[in-house]
Amino acid sequence: LEAALHGGEDYELLFVTDPGVVDVDLFAKRFGLDLTCVGHVLEGEGVWIDHGDGEPRPLERAGFDHFGSVDR
């Protein structure tokens, strides 16, 4: 999981949609796409991740930031 979140060598398009507006399964089938749901947007602040143990924790900043300063 850490490599997928912070490795930076694999690229895929990430998007957010309202499931009440777009039928994601139908959209994927129509355009021949292999889509993977990686989370949900909820009310609140920050980005949290559930590592599979049922205890969501804040996602820590890591990896390379192309637009960040050198002395983070």
Give tens-digit pLDDT for 25-53.
999 999 999 988 888 888 888 888 887 88
The answer to whether residue 67 is domain-embedded is no
Secondary-structure percent of the chain, ordered helix, strand, coil, rounded to 5: 20, 5, 75
Judged against a pLDDT cut of 60, whether residue 72 lies above it is answered with: no
The answer to whether residue 71 is domain-embedded is no
How many folded domains does the chain comprise?
1
The answer to whether residue 39 is domain-embedded is yes
Segment 3-7 shows an average pLDDT of 73
At residue 12, the pLDDT reads 76
Q: Give bridge partners of residue 49 from the DSSP assignment.
A: 57
pLDDT in tens, 10-29: 677 778 888 789 898 999 99
The answer to whether residue 18 is domain-embedded is yes
Token digits of residue 11: 């690229």
pTM exceeds 0.85, yes or no: no
The parent domain of residue 29 ranges over 1-62
The answer to whether residue 13 is domain-embedded is yes
Token digits of residue 42: 């909820």
